[in-house]
Amino acid sequence: MKENILDVENLHVSFKTRNGAITAVRGVSFSLKKGETLAIVGESGSGKSVTAKSIMRLLPKHSTVIPQGEIKFEGRDLLDLPLKDMQKVRGSEISMVFQDPMSSLNPTMKIGKQIMEGLQKHQTLTKSVARQRALEMLELVGIPNAEKRLDAYPHQFSGGMRQRVVIAMALACIPKVLIADEPTTALDVTIQAQILRLMKDLQEKMDTAIVLITHDLGVVANMADKVAVMYAGEVVEYGTLDEIFYETQHPYTLGLLGSMPNLNAKRSEPLIPIPGSPPDLATLGTGCPIAARCPYTMAVCHDYHPRKTELSESHSVLCWLQDSRTPKNHAPETVGSAQ
Amino acid sequence: MKRNEDLLVIKDLKKHFKINRKETLKAVDGISFTIKKGETLGLVGESGCGKSTVGRTITQIYQPTSGEILFDNENVHAKFSKAELKKKKRDMQMIFQDPYSSLNPRMTVMEIISEGLLIHAPNTSEKEREQQVNELLELVGLNKNHSGRYPHEFSGGQRQRIGIARALAVNPQFIVADEPIAALDVSIQAQIVNLLKTLQEEKGLTYLFIAHDLSMVKYISDRIAVMYLGKIVELTESENLYENPMHPYSEALLSAIPLPDPHLERSRVQILLKDDVPSPIDIPSGCRFHTRCPKAMDVCSKLDPAFVERQPGHFVACHLYDEELMAREK
Amino acid sequence: MNTVKEVERIDSVKQNVAEPPDDLFVAAPLNRDVREEILTPSISFWKEARERLFKNKGAVFALIVLVILTLLALVGPAINEHTYRSQNLAHSNLPPKVDGLEWLGFNGKDVKGNDVYATRNIEENYWFGTDEFGRDLWTRVWKGTQISLFIAIVAAALDLVIGVLYGGISAFYGGRLDNVMQRIIEVLVGIPNLIVIILFILILEPGITSIILALVVTGWVGMARVVRGQILQLKGQEFILASRTLGASNTRLIGKHLLPNVMGPIIVTVMFTIPTAIFFEAFLSFIGLGLQAPLASLGVLIEDGYKSMRFFSYKLIFPAAVISLIMISFNLLADGLRDALDPKMRR
């Protein structure tokens, strides 16, 4: 068994706003092994991006509070690290790829220089060696004419090529963990397919662990080994890829799967949407946050917060349907403790 | 109203934008299709292929460079008197992509939805208008008590419903839906698609549904047209396109969609296209897809394939299906 | 992010983690209407902006100061029997004196410490003192404030009208018209505006009207640019397209959709124009191109006071303090308004 490289334990993240504090992440836990891909799935406002940014400590200092939780990277708690040490970790051991490739590149700097900058910050390299490495990285991410392109500016690249450059920058120092925050959301489908394939290939070569933040269950099925489904700041279901897709336990995960289009389905088969809108974190009640949108809501769900049920070593669910007191035939047969 | 009548006929529509003295952006470069009454045509293509320009030219936001748009057998871009034009505009409405920029942030929901009523039926009393707005809100599944609220108080899906109600307020026959679900969460996308379908059945609406990938369109479209760089490359019945895509681009688009089924994902072979879409300012010669096409032949870079009905109801623009030419090539 | 984990409880998580009673495990779906209820109270943009403005201490302070100064400018000159032009040479160069405020320096003593009122045997108290012609400075300062504010507000209002029309037309119709109109602006900006203004004042007789005109001649350009930029940005927004597909007329587009959305930047620009205009008027008066005696404006008073600053410093201090207060207050208020009206602060 490989060791866990990243362990997030009961992470809470709150933002101070004019109208009081809002807790965007409420007790998130997950772990990641070397070379593994964990997908964090959720809708907008589910706290998935905040989780990613808090691993990198990229949230605004003055308005963010982390009341509890820890983020252990190779045994060290990143939240306790002095800023200077954190800056060493950032980019060299954990790096991040963002949704919009244009805004993560400096428009006035040649891309070769941007890649070299990261390299030289973390490793003592001469200029020519750094340039050589930058060239290798560009070739690795499949940019044609890499030699020439080193001296090009970001605006001379198309969207897909830009995202390749961003990936080259992120992987230049061969980080142990890559956090990819919706890396393909801004791209067209055919380009998305290229980028996903590229990320997979590079992961195999470098044995990087990936935290993939996405809202698209298709991308998850394509990429992930483990999945954390988030809703209103909590991980509602956590398990291996197959457990999430084929042994789905949480009504919300079921809902997400049901509302995804299926290419093999007949046109007349209706989509089953999840009713209602995502919750407002400021006005969340004491019970289960999904109670209002769940088809199997019970009286208990409105007032009592569900607790985590471990179904197997890897699979856990946050739902009252798992409780032994849930009446038979209330939920589909596949869901629940199935006594 | 007969169902099989053509409501919208587009003949060789072109829309070019002048960038500067030398360059022209050929957003739409000669497309033809028809939409029947009560039908939904899906228009699919990647960013920059001109699909939104088609929608905007049909709804008269843009003037076409050349070509004809016949709506109910009348040319929409012909000269009309102001009153006639107003009536014409009423029949065609649009639903937009971005639920955040498509509603005026300084107006209440009531003002937003009743705008069309004010323009086209200025004589109705305020009470009647209120009544109608409330009915529309209920129709799209919103709480009518919220009509005094401002757009920023609603979630993305709810705003999109408000946009739909605004379009429906003037009783249009035809709606251009310009990527109405692209900016929404997955669970909400299905809500909006289902709502559009129900409204179509109830009101006998005709849709042009624009989308950037093939995953959701199937559920709403009767027929689907696939666009690439300003031209339609394939047009057929929606299920037929998924079972039997003929154009290599449609095949690639279909195969690029990641499926929410890990077993299937592991077993299937994806067709990966190389490179990005070329710029519509500098369109490749011959078949515009030949630079990325996995099946490209020599002839493709020289000759632009015609858009021909290769099977009943199945139009394709690709040399692969030109038997004469293929025989000669061999 | 705080690296030292704060132990402070964040109250917004109110999860109930108690053990639930058994009888609650029964189906209880919510009904649809309740689900779509929005719980937060409805709030319009302007109401929210007002609330945000009133939370800004600097802006509130500035607003209060401005209200007081405006009131004083309106009623101040009428409080005592002197007018701003009535001279009394026997009472010239008197230092300020207020009964009960002697400890603050309002003691009627000159730089040498002699009580001028006693030596010259004057019964009456001049609160801000008098100038070399024996004119009451209290009356003149508030009269001057009145005139300065008037000039600034009228100039800002004219800027507003011309700028909004010009910028609006230029952006709304676009194309060649926009091109031509922008070139005109560039030519105007290209000429140093001090030269334009000086020429203007030389041709017209110095006076309130000519100063206002001089300020407006180049002043509207800023407003026109702000409005043009905003409208160009708005024009491509989908709600404008939606309104056009509904068949809205241009009047409706401008009045209902464009103007309400550029209102914020317009207000902020006006608020920044007013202090600039006041300052410019003072500057013109200071270099001798402004109002002519006996008319008073803050600029004229400062210029007068500056000449005898060493012996009669009160002549400079009062008008200078008032103009400083006005400038600071308008700037604070404009800053506050900009923060309150900035759409980027909200979703």
pLDDT tens column, A95-121 = 999 888 888 888 889 988 888 888 888
Do A218 and A211 meet the contact criterion of CB atoms below 8 Å apart? Answer: no
Do C171 and C228 meet the contact criterion of CB atoms below 8 Å apart? Answer: yes
Q: Give the pLDDT of residue C141.
A: 82
Query: Does the pLDDT value for residue A40 go beyond 60?
Result: yes
> Which chain A residue has its CA at the smallest distance from C4's CA?
A80
The amino acid occupying position A124 is T
Q: How far is C347 from chain A (nearest CA, A)?
A: 13
Q: How far is C346 from chain A (nearest CA, A)?
A: 12
> Which chain B residue has its CA at the smallest distance from A194's CA?
B272
* Mean pLDDT value of segment B177-193: 88
* Contact check, Cβ <8 Å, A43/B185: yes
**HEC profile of chain B:** CCCCCEEEEEEEEEEEEECCCCCEEEEEEEEEEEEECCCEEEEECCCCCCHHHHHHHHCCCCCCCEEEEEECCEECCCCCCHHHHHHHHHHEEEECCCCCCCCCCCCCHHHHHHHHHHHHCCCCCHHHHHHHHHHHHHHCCCCHHHHHCCHHHCCHHHHHHHHHHHHHCCCCCEEEEECCCCCCCHHHHHHHHHHHHHHHHHHCCEEEEEECCHHHHCCCCCEEEEEECCEEEEEEEHHHHHHCCCCHHHHHHHHHCCCCCHHHHHHCCCCCCCCCCCCCCCCCCCCCCCCCCCCCCHHHHCCCCCCEEEECCEEECCHHHCHHHHHHHC
Query: Does the pLDDT value for residue B114 go beyond 70?
Result: yes
Q: Give the pLDDT of residue B113.
A: 92
Nearest to B189 among A197, A222, A259 (CB): A259
- The answer to whether A292 contacts chain C (CB < 8 Å) is yes
CB neighbourhood size of A28 (10 A): 25
* Mean pLDDT value of segment C204-227: 84
* Most trustworthy range by pLDDT among A244-248, A326-330, B81-85: A244-248
Q: How far is C174 from chain B (nearest CA, A)?
A: 15
Gap between the Cα atoms of B107 and C260, Å rounded: 9
Q: Give the pLDDT of residue B321.
A: 87
> Residues of A numbered 311-330 whose beta carbons fall under 8 angstroms of chain C's beta carbons: which are they?
320, 323, 325-327, 330
Nearest to A303 among C8, C13, C16 (CB): C16
Average pLDDT, chain C: 79
Phi and psi angles of residue C229, each rounded to the nearest 5 degrees, phi first:
-55, -45
Gap between the Cα atoms of C299 and C296, Å rounded: 8
> Residues of A numbered 210-239 whose beta carbons fall under 8 angstroms of chain C's beta carbons: which are they?
none
* Contact check, Cβ <8 Å, C238/B143: no
Q: Check residue C132 and report its DSSP letter.
A: T
Phi-psi region of C105 (alpha: psi -120 to 50; beta: other; left: phi over 0): left
* Residue B311: both structure tokens together: 């099977």
Q: Give the pLDDT of residue B34.
A: 92
* C-alpha C56: how far from chain center: 16
Gap between the Cα atoms of B79 and B63, Å rounded: 12
Nearest to C44 among B97, B150, B163 (CB): B150
Higher-pLDDT residue of C15, C105: C15
The amino acid occupying position A195 is I
Q: How far is C84 from chain B (nearest CA, A)?
A: 47
Average pLDDT, chain B: 88
> Which chain C residue has its CA at the smallest distance from B116's CA?
C246
Scan for tokens 């309740």, then name that residue.
C34
* Mean pLDDT value of segment A221-238: 93
Scan for tokens 């398990």, then name that residue.
A239
* Contact check, Cβ <8 Å, C40/A283: yes
> Which chain C residue has its CA at the smallest distance from A69's CA?
C5
> Which chain B residue has its CA at the smallest distance from A198's CA?
B272
Query: Does the pLDDT value for residue A212 go beyond 90?
Result: yes
CB neighbourhood size of A19 (10 A): 9
Q: How far is C257 from chain B (nearest CA, A)?
A: 7
Calculate Rg over the CA atoms of chain A.
21
* Contact check, Cβ <8 Å, C42/B149: yes
The Cβ-side half-sphere exposure at A132, using a 13 Å CA radius, reads 5
Q: A244 Cβ partners below 8 Å, 6+ apart?
A: A220, A227, A229, A237, A253
Query: Does the pLDDT value for residue C125 go beyond 50?
Result: yes
CB contacts, 8 Å: A253 with chain B = none
Q: Give the pLDDT of residue A337.
A: 52
Do B36 and B10 meet the contact criterion of CB atoms below 8 Å apart? Answer: no
pLDDT tens column, B232-248 = 999 999 889 988 999 99
> Which chain C residue has its CA at the smallest distance from B104's CA?
C239
Query: Does the pLDDT value for residue C10 go beyond 60?
Result: no
Q: Give the pLDDT of residue B279.
A: 84
Q: Is C205 helix (H, G, I), strand (E, B) or coil?
A: coil
- The answer to whether A290 contacts chain B (CB < 8 Å) is no
Q: Is C102 helix (H, G, I), strand (E, B) or coil?
A: helix
Nearest to A283 among C8, C22, C39 (CB): C39
- The answer to whether C47 contacts chain B (CB < 8 Å) is no
Q: A112 Cβ partners below 8 Å, 6+ apart?
A: A131, A134, A135, A138, A149, A150, A151
CB contacts, 8 Å: B260 with chain A = 217-218, 220-221, 245, 257, 260, 262
* Contact check, Cβ <8 Å, B272/A193: yes
- The answer to whether B305 contacts chain C (CB < 8 Å) is no
pLDDT tens column, A197-211 = 999 999 998 899 999
Q: Give the pLDDT of residue C158.
A: 92
* Mean pLDDT value of segment A169-181: 90
pLDDT tens column, A44-81 = 888 899 999 999 888 888 888 888 888 998 888 888 88
Gap between the Cα atoms of A5 and A34, Å rounded: 6
* Contact check, Cβ <8 Å, A301/C14: no
Pairing of strands B314-316, B308-311: antiparallel
Higher-pLDDT residue of C301, C183: C183
* Contact check, Cβ <8 Å, A221/B265: yes
CB contacts, 8 Å: C27 with chain A = 296-299, 327, 330
Query: Does the pLDDT value for residue A268 go beyond 80?
Result: no
- The answer to whether B156 contacts chain A (CB < 8 Å) is yes
Nearest to C25 among A60, A286, A298 (CB): A298
Nearest to C242 among B102, B146, B150 (CB): B102
Q: How far is B46 from chain A (nearest CA, A)?
A: 6
Q: Is C27 helix (H, G, I), strand (E, B) or coil?
A: strand
Do C201 and C211 meet the contact criterion of CB atoms below 8 Å apart? Answer: yes
Nearest to C5 among A67, A281, A330 (CB): A67
Nearest to A218 among B238, B258, B276 (CB): B258
Nearest to B93 among C44, C245, C346 (CB): C245
Q: Give the pLDDT of residue C103.
A: 67
**HEC profile of chain A:** CCCEEEEEEEEEEEEEECCEEEEEEEEEEEEEECCCEEEEECCCCCCHHHHHHHHHCCCCCCCEECCCCEEEECCEEHHHCCHHHHHHHECCCEEEECCCCCCCCCCCCCHHHHHHHHHHHHCCCCHHHHHHHHHHHHHHCCCCCHHHHCCCCHHHCCHHHHHHHHHHHHHCCCCCEEEEECCCCCCCHHHHHHHHHHHHHHHHHHCCEEEEEECCHHHHHHHCCEEEEEECCEEEEEEEHHHHHHCCCCHHHHHHHHHCCCCCCCCCCCCCCCCCCCCCHHHCCCCCCCHHHCCCCEHHHHHCCCCEEECCCCCEEECHHHCCCCCCCCCCCCCCCCC
* Contact check, Cβ <8 Å, C239/B61: no
* Contact check, Cβ <8 Å, C7/A67: yes
* Mean pLDDT value of segment C175-203: 84
Predicted confidence band at C236 (pLDDT cuts at 50, 70, 90)?
confident
* Contact check, Cβ <8 Å, B260/A215: no
* Contact check, Cβ <8 Å, B152/C44: no
Q: Give the pLDDT of residue C128.
A: 72
* Contact check, Cβ <8 Å, A245/B260: yes
Q: Which of B138-152, B227-241, B301-315, C25-39 has the lowest mean pLDDT?
A: C25-39
* Contact check, Cβ <8 Å, C2/A66: yes
Higher-pLDDT residue of C103, A210: A210
> Which chain C residue has its CA at the smallest distance from B57's CA?
C245
Nearest to B96 among C45, C241, C246 (CB): C241
Q: C237 exposed, middle or buried (CB, 10 Å; 0-12, 13-18, 19+)? A: buried
* Contact check, Cβ <8 Å, B260/A217: yes
* Contact check, Cβ <8 Å, C40/B104: no
Average pLDDT, chain A: 87
CB contacts, 8 Å: B265 with chain A = 218, 221-222
Gap between the Cα atoms of B55 and B175, Å rounded: 10
CB contacts, 8 Å: C33 with chain B = 143
